[in-house]
Structure 1
Amino acid sequence: MAEIQLRNVGKRWGNFVGVDNFDLTIADREFLVLLGPSGCGKTTTMRMIAGLEDASDGEILIDGKVVNDLEPKDRDVAMVFQSYALYPNMNVYENIRFPLKVRGIAPEEHDERVRRASAMVELDEFLHRKPAELSGGQRQRVALARAIVREPNVFLMDEPLSNLDAKLRVSTRAQIKNLSHELAVTTIYVTHDQIEAMTLADRVVVMKQGIVQQVGSPTDIYDMPANTFVASFIGSPAMNLMEGEVQGGTFRTEHVEIPGLSAPDGPMTLGFRAEDAGISEARTGQITAPIYTLELLGDATMISVRVSGALVSVKADKSFRAEIGDMVSFSVPVDICHLFEAESGARLGG
């Protein structure tokens, strides 16, 4: 069992706050993703769990035991970094085996454990090669195997896919997903890529400037973003957000009129997902504007218009044809709209 508790954990450097009041329990065998832009505190949080950074405030517990004063080697965690950090003079077999030698594991166990770990990441035919003879994806798999061979209580993964090209990222992501199911080990995974977060996580923690914005399942965060920051960070494309005014239950801004809303009068930000709206015939929709850009995605056509300085996108059928500058009308059903307070950005009604 490896439940991790972060009790009001914080990290400061002088007056700069890197992580503020992080309070969360990570369940045994849970796959938790820390998601946010560069500088939001996600890697710092992971490094505090690993013991590579000292927490300025709060307590970190692993299996109910406070580990704040324990050395990294005594916390029974294995880390996979963005850089592969392989030993260039050792072949793949020896790179994977190295943690066993360092930790004093009985030599007669080494071969079986190395081969079991390499089989999990499909490296059996590369065990004799040096890192220089491997592709980026293969090197990252060696780093994964080196973490697996330790059989730790906790896996910590810091942007492990960011150095890979798009195709390798997809296949390695699938491998990590399968491994997490097979190994059933508590995993904390740091990324700025919301697709990785949505596909891998049991729960996602969205962070901004050291502060947790929302914690929930990928579905919760996608369907019910807590504020405009989460709405703008999750989704591909991100949620459309339009600043305007509600009067008598009708939201208005340039090119936009959406009646039937249950909301107080005043300034408001209205959001909706590109796939939830549609093209309306004869300019009868709630948004009517000239086309700013068209993108063919293969399975759909993404149409964007400009509304009060913001780009608003809707997914149309792949057969949709038009030119930039043509007028287009979007139908935006009231029940798919999200409302956020204009000043704070918080979701209306919590």
Structure 2
Amino acid sequence: MAQIRLKNVSKRWNKFIGVDNFNLDIADQEFLVLLGPSGCGKTTTMRMIAGLEDITEGEIWIGDRMVNKLEPKDRDISMVFQSYGLYPNMTVYENIRFPLKVRKVPKEQHHERVMAASKMVELDDFLERRPAALSGGQRQRVALARAIVREPNAFLMDEPLSNLDAKLRVSTRAQIKNLHHTLKRTTVYVTHDQIEAMTLADRVVVMNKGVVQQVGTPMEIYDRPANTFVASFIGSPAMNLVSGSIENGVFSSDGIRIEGLPHRASGAVTLGFRAEDATLAEANGQIEAPIYTVELLGEATMLSMRVAGELVSIKVGKDYRAEIGELARIAIPASACHIFDQSTGARIEA
């Protein structure tokens, strides 16, 4: 069993706070993603779980053991890093085998376990090559196999796809998802890429400046962001956010007016809505503004307009054609709107 618990965990360097009072229970076999921009504390959190970084305050438990003072080698975890960390003078076979030698696993088990790990990541044809003869994607698969071969209770992955090109990221992401389904091991995965978080995670922890902003399933975070930071970080494109005011369920700002909002809030607020929730209107749209850009995406067309000083994106049909500068009328259902406190950024519930 590899439930991981963080209780009031903080990390400080003098006056700088890297992680502030982090509390979380990660279930056995869960795939948890730590998501946020550079410097938000996600990698520091993972390194504290691994034992590569001392904690300033709090407790970290793996299973029924508090591991604050345990060395990384004694925590029964495997790590996969952004830099592959392969030994250039060893073959792929020997790189995969190396953790077994270090941990003094009986030699008679080595070949079977190396071959099983290699098969999982489709490396059987490359076992005699050295890392220099491999592509980036193949090297990352060697790193994955080296983590798998140890058969740990938990995997920790620090931005393992960030060095790969777009096509390889997609295929390797699918491989990681399938491996988690097959191996059924607790996994903590660090990324700044919200698409990776949405596609891989059972739950996502969104962090900013060392503080947890929201914890939830990918759809909970996408559909009900806790604040404007989460709303602006999740989604491609991110949620549109427009400052204005609301009175008696009517939001208004320069170039936009939406009636029938089921909110008791009044005064200065921030309105949020997703690009895909808006539609073109022949007349009486909630937004009327000149088109700023037209982007053909293949499956859809993305329009952008300047509304209340913000650039707003709208996703419309792939066959839509328009010129920059043309007036567009956009309908936004009241049910698709999110309201946030303008001063704190916190979500205001209906």
Above 0.5 in TM-score?
yes
TM interval, shorter chain, is over 0.9
- 2:16 corresponds in structure 1 to 16
- 1:348 corresponds in structure 2 to 348
Instruction: Give distance in 1, aligned partners of 2:241 and 2:266.
Output: 18
Deviation at 1:279, TM superposition (A): 0.5
- 2:271 corresponds in structure 1 to 270
Contact 2:265 2:348 in 1 (8 A): no
- 1:160 corresponds in structure 2 to 160
CA RMSD of aligned residues (A): 0.8
Matched, 1:118 2:110: no
Instruction: Give distance in 2, aligned partners of 1:230 and 1:138.
Output: 34
Equivalences for residues 276-295 of structure 1 within 5 A:
276-282=277-283, 284-295=284-295
For structure 1, list consecutive stretches of 5 or more residues without a partner in the other structure: none
Which of 240-249 and 339-348 deviates more? 240-249
Secondary structure at 1:281 match in 2: coil
Q: Residue by residue, what CA displacement relative to the aligned partner does 1:102-124 show, whole Å, maximum 9, x if unpaired? A: 00000000000000000000000
- 1:40 corresponds in structure 2 to 40
Q: Residue by residue, what CA displacement relative to the aligned partner does 1:32-88 show, whole Å, maximum 9, x if unpaired? A: 000000000000000000000000010000112100000001001100000001000
- 2:142 corresponds in structure 1 to 142
Identity rate, percent: 70
- 1:334 corresponds in structure 2 to 334
Instruction: Give distance in 2, aligned partners of 1:204 and 1:264.
Output: 29
Deviation at 1:27, TM superposition (A): 0.3
Contact 2:159 2:191 in 1 (8 A): yes
Q: Tell me the amino acid that sits aligned with residue 27 of structure 2.
A: A
Instruction: Give distance in 2, aligned partners of 1:246 and 1:28.
Output: 44
For structure 2, list consecutive stretches of 5 or more residues without a partner in the other structure: none
Matched, 1:256 2:251: no
- 1:49 corresponds in structure 2 to 49
Deviation at 1:254, TM superposition (A): 1.1
- 1:199 corresponds in structure 2 to 199
Equivalences for residues 183-222 of structure 1 within 5 A:
183-222=183-222
Instruction: Give distance in 2, aligned partners of 1:4 and 1:16.
Output: 26
- 2:71 corresponds in structure 1 to 71
Instruction: Give distance in 2, aligned partners of 1:32 and 1:48.
Output: 15
Q: Residue by residue, what CA displacement relative to the aligned partner does 1:200-255 show, whole Å, maximum 9, x if unpaired? A: 00000000000000000001000000000000000011101100011232111111
Q: Residue by residue, what CA displacement relative to the aligned partner does 1:138-166 show, whole Å, maximum 9, x if unpaired? A: 00000000000000011000000000000
Q: Residue by residue, what CA displacement relative to the aligned partner does 1:272-326 show, whole Å, maximum 9, x if unpaired? A: 11111101013x1101100000100001000110112211111110110100000
Secondary structure at 2:268 match in 1: strand
Instruction: Give distance in 1, aligned partners of 2:332 and 2:146.
Output: 50
TM-score, structure 2 normalization: 0.99
Q: How many matched pairs?
A: 349
Equivalences for residues 313-332 of structure 1 within 5 A:
313-332=313-332
Instruction: Give distance in 2, aligned partners of 1:264 and 1:29.
Output: 41
- 2:109 corresponds in structure 1 to 109
Matched, 1:62 2:62: yes
Secondary structure at 1:38 match in 2: coil
Deviation at 1:196, TM superposition (A): 0.2
Secondary structure at 2:59 match in 1: strand
- 1:130 corresponds in structure 2 to 130
